[in-house]
């Protein structure tokens, strides 16, 4: 009994990570851990068991975990992109030939007023979501070999498919 009282008094007002204990909420059952109302730095409230606070399991309302997961995803896609992603390289090259006058092939693309849509220009994630991963043996081709790099006008094409589109363009 004395121990429980001490735990209650000790937790009130204490901080655990982003959580500040603001009220005692009782215990879920006999012999179970006490529950506490906590206020997170982001202004969310959560009821947390003392055990979870004290063993470090709960450090925020969940916002901390969400931020960590987001940070991890971003790091992963960056690393992935720089080291081994064909899709990421295609995205980089597409942007280069359309926006960088020093790029190889610039005159056929950026120099020929071929654009990359805003959505893809600013976000590899958006490009990946629309196009999917690049399949082996394909590159990024435009239908009819004309128009901009935008959803609906491009596909992962084999060399034969690309040549067919280029031929169609010359015939047109
Ligand atoms: Zn929070």
Terminal C-alpha separation, the chain: 89
Give the pLDDT score at 17: 93
- Per-residue model confidence (pLDDT) at position 87: 87
pLDDT bracket for residue 103 (50, 70, 90): confident
Question: Cα(59)–Cα(4) distance, rounded to whole angstroms?
Answer: 22
pTM: 0.51
Contact present, 110 and 97 (Cβ < 8 Å): yes
Q: How far is the CA of 50 from the centre of ligand 1 (A)?
A: 17
Tokens of 157: 């094409």
- Asked whether residue 81 carries a pLDDT value surpassing 60, the answer given is no
Judge whether residue 156 has pLDDT over 90. Answer: yes
Q: What are 81's two structure tokens?
A: 């992109």
Q: How far apart are CA 22 and CA 20, in angstroms?
A: 6
Q: How far is the CA of 62 from the centre of ligand 1 (A)?
A: 6
Q: Average pLDDT, stretch 114-138? A: 91
The rounded Å distance from CA 12 to ligand 1 centre is 18
| Per-residue confidence (pLDDT) for residue 84, from 0 to 100 | 45
Contacts of 62 (CB under 8 A, 6+ apart): 44, 46
d(CA 130, CA 121): 13
């Amino acid at each position: 009994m004395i121990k429980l009282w001490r735990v209650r008094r000790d937790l009130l007002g204490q901080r655990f990570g982003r959580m500040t204990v603001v009220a005692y909420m009782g215990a879920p059952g006999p012999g179970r851990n006490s529950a506490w109302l906590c206020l997170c730095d982001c202004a969310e409230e959560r009821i947390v068991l003392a055990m979870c606070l004290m063993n470090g399991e709960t450090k925020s309302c969940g916002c901390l975990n969400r931020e960590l997961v987001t940070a991890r995803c971003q790091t992963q896609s960056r690393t992935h992109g720089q080291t081994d992603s064909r899709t990421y390289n295609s995205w980089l090259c597409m942007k280069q030939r359309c926006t960088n006058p020093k790029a190889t092939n610039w005159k056929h693309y950026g120099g020929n007023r071929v654009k990359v849509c805003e959505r893809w220009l600013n976000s590899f994630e958006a490009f990946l979501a629309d196009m999917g991963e690049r399949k082996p043996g394909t590159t990024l081709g435009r239908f009819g070999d004309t128009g901009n790099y935008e959803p609906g006008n491009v596909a992962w094409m084999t060399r034969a498919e690309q040549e067919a589109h280029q031929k169609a363009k010359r015939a047109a």
